[in-house]
Amino acid sequence: SLQSTTAFTVLELLELEELGFYDAGEAWQATMDGETALDGALPVNPGGGLKARGHPLGATGVSQLVELVWQLRGDADGRQVDCETGLAVNVAGFGNNAICTILEGAA
């Protein structure tokens, strides 16, 4: 599962490209083609992302990690994706703070 910074829509696309999931300028088409949808090849923000949670500023990273834990435990109810690893990407400030967290499910 991938949790992207979605305080602004364009950040999801930029992050997907900068992380190497898509070449520059191609993430928008992959998104339009459904690749990042809940049932797509690379589900992004299955819980709706930060805007769906009201972008809780100081709690943004925590909300992303909670969603990852739910996904990895299989506790995400109607938005569950099949994953063994989760990635949370959080860009804050004026782009001067970037944090990536990787979680793995227990075997």
Nearest 10 degrees: Cα torsion 50, 76, 105, 39: -80
CA distance 52 to 101: 20
pLDDT higher than 90, residue 97: no
Q: E-assigned strands of 19-84?
A: none
Strands 2-3 and 85-92: parallel
Average pLDDT on 38-54 reads 91
| Residue ranges covered by each domain of the chain | 2-104
**Model confidence pLDDT, tens digit, residues 14-26:** 999 999 999 999 9
**Percent of the chain at pLDDT above 90?**
66
pLDDT higher than 70, residue 107: no
Size of the chain in residues? 107
pLDDT higher than 90, residue 91: no
Are 86 and 102 within 8 A, CB to CB?
A: yes
| Reported pTM | 0.88
